[in-house]
Structure 1
Amino acid sequence: MSNKTIKNIGILLKPRNVTEFSTTIPNLTEWLIRRKKHVSFLEKEEGRILNIFKKLPKSVSFISEDEINKLDLIITLGGDGTIIGVSRKCTKSSPPIFGVNMGRLGFITEFSKIEYFDELANTLKGNFNIAKLPLYKVSVSKRGKEIFKGNFINDVVINKNNISRMFTLSVECDSELIFNVSGDGLIISSPVGSTAYSLAAGGPITHPDVNALLLTPICPHSLNHRPLVIPDNKEIEVKFPVKESHLSLTLDGQEAVDIEKGCIVKISKMKNSYAKIIKNNDRTYFQTLKEKLTHGQREGR
């Protein structure tokens, strides 16, 4: 629950156009304005928004991405990718996020596009609960100099960025060698991301309340390498033989960086940095698993 008055609301959109936007965005904007709320869109979306509205309401403005943290509430219209893109930039002081699922599959996006208005009305009154999604940090260094840093919510993937070919990497936990693995790559996933790429690669489904990181080899060239779950208060360090090249590191499938020869990748949980996601009280994690993955359901004959 929150006692803070919600006045300034930002609506953030899925990058790709969705057919329903032409009606959903005007309807939602007008609904909020009738409740005396100020609505903001990102400056980079101005062209798209002006094409949707016949006449832009006076209580609508455009803001930069740096101004998002000044809002009282963020509404995302899209899917998990949209909400993850926002969450990756969150800090402890960032506003809560109300995610509306405009697509088919959504684990983090809590509310259906068909029935979210009632829950949004409760949210505007301060009647809501939040789930805190932790952020994780990644740094890439070479010869002791940091050359890249970034954040992720779901996962970090290390693989080849050109032709698929087996390569070798070593993984350490708090400076202790865990394993050397040869294969197509490695996924380091959070519990929230356990139902994404990690699951497709054979990793375990992990409840988001578990404080863990998942190490899932991609097509390992050995029967002995299996997914490994470790505490998330450990620092993971990934090293590569000097001869390896053309490697890529991808964060949440949204940001990629090339890894040069001799680079070291470090991954750890960030302290006091998390995204605040407004929960749907009519939906549980296990209900979501059954709905999205038919997990635990008896197959029909």
Structure 2
Amino acid sequence: MQLNQVIIAHKAGDSLSKSWAEKCARQLESRNCRVLMGPSGPQDNPYPVFLASSTQPIDMALVLGGDGTALSAARNLAADRIPILAVNVGGNLGFLTESFDVFKDSEKVWDRLASDLYAIQRRMMLQAQVFEGNSSNLDPVSDRFFALNEICVKPASADRMITSILEMEIDGEVVDQYQGDGLIIATPTGSTAYTVAANGPIVHDGMQAITVTPICPMSLSSRPIVLPAGSVVSIWPLADYELNTKLWTDSVLGTSIWPGQRVDVRMAEYRAKFIILRENYSYYQTLREKLQWAGARIRYSNNHRDN
């Protein structure tokens, strides 16, 4: 990998990630690398400015923070196929990030990247658009919204909890109507995020699939479903008299959805690219560590494994 121009995004409001961003910027600039640096957070999106002001191809984005910072980078950079090195500096769970332990000797990291001693993990993403009327109308009334974890359709109100009534079509066929707190349409990456909290399935992030999980449905028959990645999931808000239905992307508000409109969710045409530095990377180890799987209370030794 060439390191001629690099984005450095640090978690907004976090002094530790900012200080590391400044340190990394000095190191890279000493290697004749142009650095575009700024904070990333709910009120700060530096990527449109970075992309518009770049005078040459961007080789990499260094993202210092937690999963939310990494998700924002993926939504904004995947279309330009910019690889992301996400490091857990000031974050919490860190499902999508490299451990700080493998990054703290950052000068060695630049040497590794320049020598191509890393792996690239490509993660499926989703895109959503709002349309008027049935599936024969293909003229969108909104921008495209992208998500690495999930697209969520659920109401939002400042003064009370709203129950939503949503109808779901898959590839133009009505599948079910859901009454409850909303629907989560997730990628395999997002299956260990909001989806798993709503009792949805965990799907290996090496797969291409779409999961649909009801949030607190008012029917025991409303169950999660796993779909082929080529499916188009259409969501219609019904009986929304107070116009509270919203489209959320990776927990960030996208737009409002009115009755008579539908949201079409499908696999995005490109995938997010994450740089992996760990030589012993294991998806199952990540599950064990991040979800704190304990298994049975009594542990039995497996003496048969070595026979």
Residue aligning to 1:101? 88
Q: Which residue of 2 aligns with 1:152?
A: 147
CA deviation string 1:65-85 (max 9, x = no partner):
434682111100111111111
CA-CA distance at 1:14 after TM superposition: 1.6
1:151-210, Cα deviation, whole Å (9 max, x unpaired): 111101111111223232111111112211111111111110111111111111111012
Cα deviation, 1:81-117, whole Å, max 9, x if unaligned, reads 1111111123454221111111221111123267442
Match of residue 58 from structure 1:
none
Residues 113, 31 of structure 1: alpha-carbon distance in 2 compared, 3 angstrom cutoff: farther
Q: Which residue of 2 aligns with 1:207?
A: 204
Contact 1:137 1:269 in 2 (8 A): yes
User: What letter corresponds to residue 295 of structure 1 in structure 2?
Assistant: W
**Selected match of 1:66 from 52, 73, 89:** 52
Query: Match for 2:150: what amino acid?
Result: D
Change (3 A) 1:255 1:113: farther
CA deviation digits over 1:21-56, x for unaligned, max 9? 4532332222223333332214999xx9xxxxxxxx
Three-state SS of the structure 2 residue aligned to 1:205 is: coil
8 Å Cα contact 2:237/2:245 also seen in 1? no
Of 8, 12, 31, which residue of structure 2 is paired with 1:11? Answer: 8
Q: Which shifted more, 192-201 or 173-182?
A: 173-182
Distance 1:44 1:267 in 2: 26
The match for 1:250 is 248
Deviation of the 1:296 alpha carbon: 4.9
Task: State how 1:121-140 maps to structure 2 within 5 Å.
Answer: 121-140=111-130
Q: Which residue identity lines up with residue 127 of structure 2 in the other structure?
A: K
Q: Which structure features the higher share of strand residues?
A: 1
For 1:1-301, what aligned pairs fall within 5 Å after superposition?
4-15=1-12, 17-21=13-17, 23-42=19-38, 64-67=50-53, 70-91=57-78, 93-102=80-89, 103-112=91-100, 115-116=103-104, 117=106, 118-143=108-133, 144=137, 145-148=139-142, 149-162=144-157, 163-241=160-238, 243-244=240-241, 245-271=243-269, 273-279=270-276, 280-299=278-297
Q: Which moved more, 1:93-102 or 1:183-192?
A: 93-102
CA contact (8 A) 2:156 2:162 kept: no
- Helix, strand or coil for the counterpart of 1:88? helix
Q: Using a 3 Å threshold, how does the CA distance of structure 1 residues 119 and 283 change in structure 2: closer, same or farther?
A: farther
Mark the CA change 1:78 to 1:8 in structure 2 (over 3 Å): closer, same or farther.
same
Q: Report the secondary structure of 1:83's partner residue.
A: helix
Aligned amino acid, residue 79 of structure 1: G
The answer as to whether partners of 2:86 and 2:275 remain within 8 angstroms in 1 is: yes
Structure 2 counterpart SS, 1:230: strand
CA contact (8 A) 1:183 1:220 kept: yes
**What are structure 1's unaligned runs of at least 5 residues?**
49-62
TM-score (norm 2): 0.82
Matched residue type, 1:31: Q
The letter of the residue matching 1:129 is A
- 2:14 is paired with a residue of what secondary structure? coil
Listed one character per residue, the Cα deviations across residues 128-161 of structure 1 (whole Å, up to 9, x for unaligned) are 1101122221011124452223111110111111
Higher deviation after alignment, 238-247 or 92-101: 238-247
Distance 1:147 1:167, change over 3 A: same
Distance change >3 Å, CA 90–CA 25, structure 1 → 2: closer
Letter in 1 for 2:30: R
Residue type at the aligned position of 1:204 = P
Cα distance in structure 1, aligned partners of 2:17 and 2:146: 29
Q: CA RMSD in A?
A: 2.5
Q: 2:282 and 2:206 mapped to 1: Cα distance? A: 12
Q: Distance in 2 between matches of 1:22 and 1:147?
A: 38
How high is the sequence identity, in percent, across the aligned residues? 27
User: How far, CA to CA, are the matches of 1:214 and 1:91 in structure 2?
Assistant: 21
